[in-house]
Every structure is written in structure tokens, then in C-alpha cells.
Amino acid sequence: MHLATLASGSSGNSIVVGHEKRNFLVDCGISLKATLHNLAILDIAPSEIEGIFITHEHSDHIKGVGAVARKLKIPIYASAKIWDELNPSIGKLKDEQRVVVRDAFTCAGLRVRVFPTSHDSQESFGVRVEVEQPVRGRSKAIGIATDTGIVTEEMHQALKGCDALVVEANHDREMLWQGGYPWYLKKRISGNYGHLENSQLAEGLLQWIEGNTQRIVLAHLSDENNTPETALSTILRILKESRVAKENRDLRLRVAPRYTPHELIVLEEY
């Protein structure tokens, strides 16, 4: 299995997940041109993308979804409530490109388990992805969860023991409250339906990381209320004080770039 962020942040979000030469996108909040360009950097051909899953309907997650789906002739997977929000603005699609999902689906030879997050949208979801038919033993698991104000119980269940995680470290609490955002926006971001703060994520990671966890990508960082250095230092400080540091000496944390793709992370099967 492999994964990479194509873009990450309030300006646009998209993640590619795949196995061998088959892939799908989690969100497509960047333009068609940017999507194809960033896939090319990763040496992933457009013909190797088989679908798009939409986590929620905010513009930084759906900006390019219609254009990309039409260009690549691929289906879009989303919940019924998210489709209600997408339909007026997404443009013309064939009926078979509109796939309604709720709990789980398969795409590109991968099992995709859907679980709820807590965000101020009609609905919002994360995913746990595994190979549908692993060649040997247990399949590796990739967990993705961004855009949530709290760590939900469903997140705990789905993300625990994943081999790789793409998870939200949106803001630093002190930077947010001392920054220039208006009061209502600070309340929204820090609330139960907003975004995760660095230390909130770290507390979640303490429960999700197990001995097999190899890679963590910090995603959806605020451009105003966080920095890669702040996110990494806060989270590493909390992790180093726990059993995680002793049990996962090879664990690697990275920050997803805002506009360019993260290097392709390849997880070998057992």
C-alpha cells in the first residue's frame, strides 16, 4: 500500500491512497490542473485513479472534484447528505459516477471503512483503508482523519493500530487565541465542531499508535495559527513522555506540505 497528500490546508486538501497501480483520492479540494500536476510528481498516471471519496462538502475538499471526475471518468463516493450539498454545484455527471456510501465501500482493490468525525458540515468522515485481498497475512492499514473538533470514539476504534496515519494538527491553542482572527472564528475553530489542536491530536495518537505504526503525517495545518515546527515539537514532546517512544523507535512524523505533494509513503505487506 502507499499514500501521499497532494495538498493540505485551508487552500485545498487531497490525498491519494493506493496499492500497486490502483489508486483513489480522498477529497479533491484543488483544481484539475493542480491534481494532475501533483499526481505526475508522484509518478501516478491519471488512468491509475479509480474514484474519489468526499469526507465533507466544504470547498477546500471539493473544489476540483467535478472536473477531475469528468476528466478521468471515475465515480465519486459520498454520503447521501453530502450529495445533497454537492449536487447543486458539482456540474454534470453520469448517474454511475454518483455513488452513495455510508459505512464501507471498495475502490481500487481497497476496502474503505467510513467513520464519523465532528465538524461543522452536513456530515464529515474519516476512513480506514486496507487491501481487499492481501497476498499474505494481514493487510496494512492506513487511517485518515482531518476536520474534526474532537476525537470521537469512532476515531479511536478506526485509527488504533494503523500502520500509517494522516491526521489533523490544525492549530496551536496559544497562537489561535493570541492571533488576529475575530472572536467568532476563534470559537468556531476551537469548538467541538471545529479543528483539532496540536495537543489534542497528540493525546489521540497515544491511544492509536501501536508497535506496527510506522508513519504519521500531520495534515490541515493552519497557515495563521500553527507552524510545522510548532506542531512537530508539541506532538513529539508529548509522545516522548509516553511508552510510544520506547516501543516505536522507527516511527516517523512529517508535516504535509500545503501546495505540493508529500513524498509517496510505501507500506510493504506482511
> For residue 119, what pLDDT is reported?
97
Cα end-to-end distance, the chain, whole Å: 11
For helices 228-240 and 198-208, what crossing angle results, to 10°? Answer: 40
Which strands make up the sheet holding 265-266, listed edge to edge?
A: 98-100, 76-78, 49-53, 22-26, 14-19, 2-7, 265-266
Q: Of 19, 266, 5, which Cα lies nearest the Cα of 131?
A: 19
Which residues are within 8 A (CB) of 187 and not within 5 positions of it... i.e. 6 or more apart? none
Contact 116, 193 (CB under 8 A): no
DSSP β-bridge partners for residue 131: 110
Instruction: List the one residue out of 104, 117, 174, 171 whose CA is nearest residue 147.
Output: 117
pLDDT number for residue 140: 92
Local structure of 242: helix, strand or coil = coil
Find the helix or strand (DSSP H, E) in which 86 lies: helix 80-86
pLDDT tens-digit profile, the chain (270 residues): 999 999 999 999 999 999 999 999 999 999 999 999 999 999 999 999 999 999 999 999 999 999 999 999 999 999 999 999 999 989 999 999 999 998 999 999 999 999 999 999 999 999 999 998 766 667 799 999 999 999 999 999 999 999 999 999 999 999 999 999 999 999 999 999 999 999 999 999 999 999 899 999 999 999 999 999 999 999 999 998 887 767 777 889 999 999 999 999 999 765
Q: Are 269 and 134 in contact (CB under 8 A)?
A: yes
**Closest to 53 (Cα-Cα) out of 103, 88, 89:** 103
Instruction: Pick 1-260's CATH classification: 3.30.420.40, 3.60.15.10, 1.10.1040.10, 1.10.30.50.
Output: 3.60.15.10
Given this model, what pLDDT does residue 72 score?
A: 98
Predicted local confidence at residue 248, as pLDDT: 78
User: What pLDDT was estimated at residue 224?
Assistant: 96
Where are the chain's structural domains?
1-260
Task: Determine the pLDDT at residue 132.
Answer: 80
Whether the Cβ atoms of residue 58 and residue 121 lie closer than 8 Å to each other: yes
- What does the buried/exposed string (b/e) look like for 41-76 if buried means 16 or more CB atoms within 10 Å of the residue's CB? ebebeeebbbbbbbbbbbebbbbbbbbbbbebebbb
